[in-house]
Structure 1
Amino acid sequence: MDIAQLRDFIAVVDAGSLSRATRALHVSQPAISQRMAQLEAHLGVRLLDRGPRGVRPTSAGRALYRDAQQLVRQFDRLAQDIAVSRPPVHGPVAIGLPTTVAAPLAPALFTWVRAHYPGIHLQMFESMSGYVHELLLAGRLDLAAVFREDAAPRPAELPLYSESLYLIGQPDPAPATPADVPLTDLRDVPLVTPGARSNLRILVDRAFAAYGMVPVNVGDVESLGTLIRIAESGEACTILPRSVVAGHDPRRLGVRRIVAPALRRHVAVLTATDRYEPRDSVAAVRQGIVEVTRELAAANRWPGIRLAERPEAADPRHEAP
């Protein structure tokens, strides 16, 4: 097994069919079919389920796909390091950010990295939280911001901040208190939320279930902008952190903190592996996320967040203060 076989296998899985993979790899279909058969024979396991609609990885294939992503990325970085003279901390760093985190963080983080580590090439992926976590587990990302329901320490995670969740929109009837709304008052309020894989959806479902309620979910929406526009339309409400609607008039749109109980989620930075320390460039970007988050909070440019207790990350230039 060599790196070329791994590249071919990744291309086949990404394409979902041998014929589509041939166009990406610029080889014939019999050639790519033979390469996949040779790889399976070498490993002694079936890696792909072949069908009339294409191919899908088996459980063994999914494991190989995840690890192959890491190996190919490391090989490419090693080749770049040998071929080109670069600054001490350099190379691509792939980071995944849920949309509600990316809105305030991504532009400031990009500026920070350019100023402190010009040799780092940022690759930013923005999506809903469930998909970001899947990309990290699949080996497509070096680190990601992830949501948690508590602040308990976990391997390979750096706590970042926590935030309260708010009801966005004008429920009918309107709550008596303009600023707050008890969770139990949302029993019959139509809601739009991200899909079932989203951390936000899981948190909301569990909070309602603790009070013997089921949220009236009238739509799954995997777009932050669309969630806010639906809330503006009055057709349904949504549940989001306050920071994502900071530019709106809170009384006109309807921005009420959920209380009794308060809904709160925690955000941490998770690296791709807990088996070893990330390389210097990944550690540098992780440190940048911490510093930028603290700067934005101090300047009141990220409203509604509460910083974690002295989050620390290794900075390859110096010891953290």
Structure 2
Amino acid sequence: MDLKQIQYFIALFEDGSVTRAAKRLNIVQPALSMQISKLETELRQKLFERGPHGMTPTDAARQMYRLYTPIMRDIERARDQLSRQDAIVTGRVSLGMVSSEAESVLPESLARFNAMFPQVEVSVADGFSAQLIDAVEAGRLDAAIINKPRGRLTLDMVPLVDEEMVLVTSAALGPDLPPAVDAAQLGGIELVLPTRRNGLRGVLDAALLAADVVIKPKFEIDLLNTIVQFVEQSSVATILPRVVVQRKVDEGVLCARTITSPPIVRHIIRVSHPKRPIGPAAHALIEIIGDEIRRVTTGVPADPSAS
């Protein structure tokens, strides 16, 4: 087992697709598949099951990811510190984030970032994707983390994370539903959803429209914390990214169910102005945020050495 194989494994684990992982690593798909196969042979463990919706990690893969991810972070940090040759990064980062990410992972991300770059000032604004795009275009923000829009943008776009959206119910008061729910069943469930101004609603509507599924929410609210609290105290369900509800799911307060046929996935991207490249501090903060999103949604424990 070498570092390259571990990097390939982590990319496939996080992306869930040979195609996306190979693109992320800038290699051809057969090379990735061959290295994963060699790794499985060496470990004498099956790491992934191929299914209609991508590569599903086995229990052995989850354990391997949990053990090796902190090691790879340490290696990357060591390489970064050596390349900087003790240079102190200073300045200011102005970042925009959609509320679903800001409310879910921003405190932990800022704590890690501040430990690594204590000389850097940070300003974070939240809002809808369209508002944040306007702010980046106008130069009010260095970059923004948003839901990928359906239309074309004049800004530079970099994929960060693909997130599963799940059906969420109260553990105590919610309806009795199976662990996986077909999208066609959503029309018969009482729902509270974000309004159509919200990028999350756009992702949901687009996926259901493609599957010829129609839903009519009883309640529409843009405050995600209010939606979560409402669902927790009622029999009403919602559909939100897993990162928004995972902590309450882990606490046993909420239940999250996979949506199938089709699965509903939102794509988180970073946008920045092509004429105003972002600096190393902004790059680092955005990478930490993406890492925190993956940590929360995969259930991988926090890396104590990261902060």
Q: TM-score range by the shorter chain?
A: 0.5 to 0.7
Q: 2:291 aligns with which of 283, 289, 294?
A: 294
**Number of matched pairs:** 210
Whole-angstrom CA distance in 2 between matches of 1:285 and 1:230: 35
8 Å CA contact 1:169–1:253 kept in 2: the answer is yes
Shift, 1:103, TM fit:
3.2
Match in the other structure for 1:303:
297
8 Å CA contact 2:148–2:268 kept in 1: the answer is yes
Residues 183-215 of structure 1 show CA distances to partners (whole Å, capped at 9, x for unaligned) of 000013232222212221111112222233332
Choose 158-167 or 216-225, whichever is displaced more: 216-225
Map residues 120-159 of structure 1 onto 2, 5 A cutoff: 120-148=120-148, 156-159=156-159
| Greater length-normalized contact order (CA 8 Å, ≥ 6 residues apart) | 2
8 Å CA contact 1:242–1:304 kept in 2: the answer is no
Whole-angstrom CA distance in 2 between matches of 1:113 and 1:204: 32
8 Å CA contact 1:113–1:285 kept in 2: the answer is no
Map residues 60-139 of structure 1 onto 2, 5 A cutoff: 89-139=89-139
Larger Rg over CA atoms: 1
Whole-angstrom CA distance in 1 between matches of 2:218 and 2:139: 34
8 Å CA contact 2:169–2:175 kept in 1: the answer is no
User: Would the alpha carbon gap of residues 302 and 108 (structure 1) be closer, same or farther in structure 2, given more than 3 Å must change?
Assistant: same
| Letter matched to residue 174 of structure 1 | D
Whole-angstrom CA distance in 2 between matches of 1:260 and 1:247: 26
8 Å CA contact 2:166–2:241 kept in 1: the answer is yes
In structure 1, stretches of 5+ residues that fail to align are 1-86, 307-321
| Letter matched to residue 135 of structure 2 | L
SS at match of 1:254: strand
Residues 64-115 of structure 1 show CA distances to partners (whole Å, capped at 9, x for unaligned) of xxxxxxxxxxxxxxxxxxxxxxx96433321111222123432233223323
Match in the other structure for 1:80:
none
Normalised by the length of structure 1, the TM-score is: 0.56
Shift, 1:173, TM fit:
5.9
Asked if 1:256 is matched to 2:257, the reply is yes
Whole-angstrom CA distance in 2 between matches of 1:116 and 1:286: 13
SS at match of 1:157: strand
Whole-angstrom CA distance in 2 between matches of 1:258 and 1:216: 17
User: Would the alpha carbon gap of residues 293 and 274 (structure 1) be closer, same or farther in structure 2, given more than 3 Å must change?
Assistant: same
- Relative to its length, the structure with more helix (as a share) is 2
8 Å CA contact 1:105–1:293 kept in 2: the answer is no
User: Would the alpha carbon gap of residues 136 and 227 (structure 1) be closer, same or farther in structure 2, given more than 3 Å must change?
Assistant: farther
Map residues 1-321 of structure 1 onto 2, 5 A cutoff: 89-148=89-148, 156-169=156-169, 174-175=176-177, 177=178, 179-234=179-234, 236-249=236-249, 253-271=254-272, 273-278=273-278, 280=279, 283-291=280-288, 293-294=290-291, 297=294, 301-304=295-298
8 Å CA contact 1:99–1:129 kept in 2: the answer is no
8 Å CA contact 1:166–1:240 kept in 2: the answer is yes
Residues 102-155 of structure 1 show CA distances to partners (whole Å, capped at 9, x for unaligned) of 2343223322332333332101113344443343344322111011279x9995
Whole-angstrom CA distance in 2 between matches of 1:135 and 1:234: 37
Whole-angstrom CA distance in 2 between matches of 1:245 and 1:262: 17
Whole-angstrom CA distance in 1 between matches of 2:195 and 2:292: 32
User: Would the alpha carbon gap of residues 232 and 134 (structure 1) be closer, same or farther in structure 2, given more than 3 Å must change?
Assistant: farther
8 Å CA contact 1:191–1:219 kept in 2: the answer is yes
User: Would the alpha carbon gap of residues 157 and 210 (structure 1) be closer, same or farther in structure 2, given more than 3 Å must change?
Assistant: closer
Residues 26-76 of structure 1 show CA distances to partners (whole Å, capped at 9, x for unaligned) of xxxxxxxxxxxxxxxxxxxxxxxxxxxxxxxxxxxxxxxxxxxxxxxxxxx
Shift, 1:162, TM fit:
0.9
Whole-angstrom CA distance in 2 between matches of 1:114 and 1:186: 42
User: Would the alpha carbon gap of residues 195 and 135 (structure 1) be closer, same or farther in structure 2, given more than 3 Å must change?
Assistant: farther
| Letter matched to residue 219 of structure 1 | F
Among the aligned pairs, what percent are the same residue? Answer: 25
Whole-angstrom CA distance in 2 between matches of 1:291 and 1:274: 22
User: Would the alpha carbon gap of residues 197 and 113 (structure 1) be closer, same or farther in structure 2, given more than 3 Å must change?
Assistant: same
Whole-angstrom CA distance in 2 between matches of 1:173 and 1:247: 20
Whole-angstrom CA distance in 1 between matches of 2:299 and 2:204: 19
Whole-angstrom CA distance in 2 between matches of 1:137 and 1:237: 36
User: Would the alpha carbon gap of residues 172 and 212 (structure 1) be closer, same or farther in structure 2, given more than 3 Å must change?
Assistant: farther
User: Would the alpha carbon gap of residues 109 and 218 (structure 1) be closer, same or farther in structure 2, given more than 3 Å must change?
Assistant: same
Shift, 1:235, TM fit:
5.0
